[in-house]
Amino acid sequence: MEEKLIGKVSHFYGKPSVGMIELADVLKVGDTIRIKGKSLDFTQKITSMRIEFTDVNEANAGTLIGVKVDQKVHKDDEVYKVTE
């Protein structure tokens, strides 16, 4: 499996368990990401994304997106796109 750094976490909202990610590359619904930080390292599939309050299927570099995450993430955690 290959991994490419595509962004960083900028904020986490606990109640809906959403991580805000500043993208440095394209990300699509269905892609697999790996989030790595000081106290966590996990992989998950993107099932939905939002830009502001609108659901989207794809987001480009320079965009701030909200993604439902499986675990609590922290500011500056690195986000990688995983490809096979």
In order along its 84 residues, the chain shows pLDDT tens digits of 899 999 999 999 999 999 999 999 999 999 999 999 999 999 999 999 999 999 999 999 999 999 999 999 999 999 999 998
Angstrom distances, CA of residue 55 to CA of 6, 23, 46, 61: 20, 16, 12, 17
Q: Which fold has domain 2-83?
A: Elongation Factor Tu (Ef-tu); domain 3 (2.40.30)
| Per-residue pLDDT, 1 | 84
CA distance 72 to 13: 9
| Placement of tokens 């394209």 in the chain | 26
- Distance CA(61)–CA(25), nearest Å, equals 4
